[in-house]
Structure 1
């Protein structure tokens, strides 16, 4: 734009300069011509005055005429300061104010002389051979004293040096004025060009910024000329584009937020195999980042050979595919894959859309539900079968034997109690898991609470000569649901008593600890025993429903296999944690940590 401005300025200056120069030349030539015309007219008048003052003599004697003309020429030279020449009709010079006639050439060929002989008056401007400067020559033909025929020519000449000096001064003034005019014209033209090009520069700059997706730029639009109208149109276009781009960006952000927060992984593959979309859940399920995957071929996902094969099959067949696939990177997961052919925007050939859903938890829950039903069926079948068998035996005649009948009825009663406890635990676990019985939190005096738990279980411990030791910091209060906390502690104590041999020890310790990460105060209740212990391989599954380390011993102790599962769920409802430390043959420690104050 700067080059354009300079070119426009130069064009203005040249136009003005040429116009002024042409006007100056015309004026100079006109001045010179008018000056010369005025001088010629003046000299003609002078010649007529001269002829009137000194008419052509009638004497034919050449010597007398020569003396007469020479005297008159010199006298007029002194009076008027102009050169006077008397010429005979044959061109011979008879008298001259500046030179001796004998030394002068024949003047018949002179332009002014020939013109005067033909027209009566003649003039010319030329370089004088005698004086070596430009002269104006004016000649007239003259006759005798009584107006007879023409007898000679009087020529008057005058130097044009003064006129030329005046013209030179004029030209100098004209050149100086022209230079000044050029300067002024340059400044004015630059200002004019600037006023024209500056809006264009702004609009060009704005257009470039719009081309770079910057639609917030605006061009000043004050005025009512065409440039202002163009600026207003450009601003209106920028505003419209800005609104549309903002809407597109908002839609893009919303779409990206939806994709990033989807629980399903979404991958788009173009027809040439390049990955064009890879959302955050896909990063979690398949590994790799958006930067590593987008723009590169799907075949570079070397950690998932089977998935690459499915994508390749989809690109070749252009048909939907639904499969479940186990992946082992970045961790083992079962993925449900929906592959759908789709045409990408701006492409003729169809690519693929992959939707990946992690169904590991769903399948695990289905497996757990299936196992739970099987376990419940098995656990219910055992006491029911026992009750049915002994009842049939009694009906077959054993009822007549009092001792046998009493023994069988005692077994039926025990199995009925066991069946009742099992059904009760199942219902309790169902209520806890479904959150149908919300917890009622209240402050609990922990030393007094643990004392009541000891009294309730002291009879069971005494039957096996087990020492039941309860220790708690004085004045320790805990915010919890008292009934549910009682279930937790009761299950842990019963579990310790059941799996501790006779003469053993079960200890409960309650204390305040501080979480190292959150610096939150926690109440830690540790239930330890000197029982048979738990093998290390069984510890991760100890809180599963119906899981037993020693199945025969569990049934003989009357356990249902749901106690620790209930403990785990109730602990989580209290926003707490529970863990196990155990050594086979030495004993176990259940460490329960609950918030001092519920969040």
Structure 2
């Protein structure tokens, strides 16, 4: 370890010595060149135009002083403040200070009363300053009566700051300048210092840039690059820093790609994912979680998880995950319905150092599974119930015939006719069940074609007219003058309308009336897609429906009056078939009834072409 450190230190010292040696040679040569050049310039300066050069230097100095002095001046300041500022600047610089407004009024003067001074708008240096340049003028002062050097600049909010020196001061300074021989050497020294600073800047400049690049990288900006020019060592350091930035950029791109893949995976999961922090607040969720639990993430973010769940077993399991890092699985009722429940898998969330950060809840919606199981149970119960009566009847009649009723022709004929009716009822029930199963599972293939509703309604209604006349029921048909056309399966549409008419015939008493109406726009509205509806309605004068029956009348095996329905020979599936046929065509169904004894109006709406 010690030898390695020493070797490194020795190598660094040798490199530093080479670096300093080369740098010293270049710097010494620069010094010699500057001294020679300075000696020549000083000789020429002393010989030619020292006064002009001195005055130029003096003008520059006065101009800078005027800008600094006028940077804090504005026209809103009081005359006393301006006068005090002028006197202070005069005391520090030895120059006379005058503050002049844009219109030439003298606002303050370090040596005279502004009210006694004339307007200075015509002074050449003032005019030049008001044009945005440095105004310079040498002339006799009307106030002091001596030749003065005037330097004026525009500062502040448009004010002119003018500094002036007596030319006698310039002459005295020039005399002293000529008598002091050390000035050229001091000038050379100053130039040498400037050159040294410039050389140091060439070294430290790239280092400063690399330092700024490193700070940008720390802020997350990996696009920046360090300079690779300048001294060799600085260039190598810049290249290493750029290599580091490229490697970090590639690694961050990989991390970002992995993060996006994970986000896409979580977003597309059918299972709900919920993230909970150590303080039991919700920090994240995927769309499936929002759908299953019926919330929006922006509404529950940073709120306690009990906003969504109120379950003591879940609280215990979540506490075990957040406090002890234990995983668990359980089922929780969501309270959103009789079948609403979720299966939850809870896993602790840790960082790279295995420190607990929170927990992740992955849950499966058990609602559809429970609903399907309930529907299957209800279907089996309903089918068993519907089959029980005709099967029992057939069995009883068959046993009676077998016991000797066959020897009585009239009784045997009556029993056989009853067995045939019950068999037909069983056949209709089985056919309706098969048809309904196809429609619900979308296995029924609709052979779509343009279907004229006027002719379809007329044809199906007329098919039921004999049965209505035999029962003493009046049939009324209302058709529009314009032919209404939909895209659909004519066989299924006839079946749906036939079921509505069959239902009306069964429940309309003798002397009643069944009215079939076909209506289109503008009497009927439009579907959600903006297409106009066509409505077929069948209105009867039967027993009507109570308000409690209206929501369920299109469900399987539902009967508002079970005894009357069975007497009429219904299977309890006709209206359910109507609903599924119309929905398969993109339409809707419904019923209107004023209550018992007021009749019913069953309608189905289909989108027109």
Same topology, TM > 0.5: yes
The answer to whether 1:225 aligns with 2:236 is: no
Q: C-alpha separation between the residues in 2 aligned to 1:464 and 1:433?
A: 34
Structure 1 pair 403–364 and aligned structure 2 pair: CA distance change class (3 A): same
Tell me the alpha carbon deviations over residues 531-581 of structure 1, each in whole angstroms, 9 at most, x when there is no partner: 211221122222221111111111111110111111111112111111222
Counterpart among 390, 407, 416 of residue 414 in structure 2 = 407
Judge conservation of contact 1:530–1:586 (CA < 8 Å) in 2.
yes
Judge conservation of contact 2:474–2:512 (CA < 8 Å) in 1.
yes
The answer to whether 1:484 aligns with 2:492 is: yes
For residue 344 of structure 2, what is the aligned residue in structure 1?
338
> How is 1:99-118 mapped onto 2 (pairs within 5 angstroms)?
none
Structure 1 pair 412–575 and aligned structure 2 pair: CA distance change class (3 A): same
Structure 1: which 4+ aligned runs deviate by more than 6 Å? 168-171, 299-302
The answer to whether 1:252 aligns with 2:259 is: yes
Counterpart among 566, 569, 576 of residue 565 in structure 1 = 576
Judge conservation of contact 2:479–2:518 (CA < 8 Å) in 1.
yes
Tell me the alpha carbon deviations over residues 447-483 of structure 1, each in whole angstroms, 9 at most, x when there is no partner: 1111110121112211222222222223222211100
Counterpart among 470, 474, 484 of residue 467 in structure 1 = 474
Counterpart among 580, 584, 608 of residue 596 in structure 1 = 608
Structure 1 pair 507–307 and aligned structure 2 pair: CA distance change class (3 A): farther
For residue 389 of structure 1, what is the aligned residue in structure 2?
396
For residue 499 of structure 1, what is the aligned residue in structure 2?
507
Q: TM-score, normalised by structure 2?
A: 0.65
Structure 1 pair 296–412 and aligned structure 2 pair: CA distance change class (3 A): closer
Tell me the alpha carbon deviations over residues 230-264 of structure 1, each in whole angstroms, 9 at most, x when there is no partner: 32322222222222212212221222232233232
Q: Which runs of 5+ in 2 are unaligned?
A: 1-22, 40-175
SS in structure 2 of the partner of residue 537 of structure 1: coil
Q: C-alpha displacement at 1:273, in angstroms?
A: 4.7
For residue 529 of structure 1, what is the aligned residue in structure 2?
540
The answer to whether 1:398 aligns with 2:405 is: yes
For residue 85 of structure 1, what is the aligned residue in structure 2?
none
Q: C-alpha displacement at 1:387, in angstroms?
A: 0.9
Q: TM-score, normalised by structure 1?
A: 0.66
Judge conservation of contact 1:509–1:526 (CA < 8 Å) in 2.
yes
Counterpart among 214, 229, 233 of residue 221 in structure 2 = 214
Question: Mean Cα displacement is larger for which, 334-343 or 452-461?
Answer: 334-343
Q: C-alpha displacement at 1:433, in angstroms?
A: 2.3
The answer to whether 1:182 aligns with 2:190 is: yes
The answer to whether 1:201 aligns with 2:208 is: yes
SS in structure 1 of the partner of residue 374 of structure 2: helix
Structure 1 pair 364–169 and aligned structure 2 pair: CA distance change class (3 A): closer
For residue 109 of structure 2, what is the aligned residue in structure 1?
none
The answer to whether 1:547 aligns with 2:555 is: no
Q: C-alpha displacement at 1:412, in angstroms?
A: 0.5
SS in structure 2 of the partner of residue 507 of structure 1: strand
Q: C-alpha displacement at 1:184, in angstroms?
A: 6.3
SS in structure 1 of the partner of residue 548 of structure 2: helix
Judge conservation of contact 1:548–1:561 (CA < 8 Å) in 2.
yes
Counterpart among 572, 583, 586 of residue 575 in structure 1 = 586
Query: Considering only CA atoms, is the larger Rg found in Structure 1 or Structure 2?
Result: 1
Judge conservation of contact 1:278–1:293 (CA < 8 Å) in 2.
no
Q: C-alpha separation between the residues in 2 aligned to 1:317 and 1:232?
A: 48
Structure 1 pair 454–199 and aligned structure 2 pair: CA distance change class (3 A): same
Tell me the alpha carbon deviations over residues 122-141 of structure 1, each in whole angstroms, 9 at most, x when there is no partner: xxxxxxxxxxxxxxxxxxxx
Structure 1 pair 216–346 and aligned structure 2 pair: CA distance change class (3 A): same
Judge conservation of contact 1:314–1:339 (CA < 8 Å) in 2.
no
Structure 1 pair 306–498 and aligned structure 2 pair: CA distance change class (3 A): farther
Q: C-alpha separation between the residues in 1 aligned to 2:308 and 2:206?
A: 55
Q: C-alpha separation between the residues in 2 aligned to 1:525 and 1:287?
A: 36
Structure 1 pair 218–520 and aligned structure 2 pair: CA distance change class (3 A): farther
For residue 369 of structure 1, what is the aligned residue in structure 2?
376
Judge conservation of contact 1:522–1:593 (CA < 8 Å) in 2.
yes
Aligned residue pairs total 438
> How is 1:427-446 mapped onto 2 (pairs within 5 angstroms)?
427-446=434-453
SS in structure 2 of the partner of residue 361 of structure 1: helix
Q: C-alpha separation between the residues in 2 aligned to 1:255 and 1:560?
A: 52
SS in structure 2 of the partner of residue 214 of structure 1: coil
Q: C-alpha separation between the residues in 1 aligned to 2:437 and 2:241?
A: 69
SS in structure 1 of the partner of residue 603 of structure 2: strand
Structure 1 pair 347–586 and aligned structure 2 pair: CA distance change class (3 A): farther
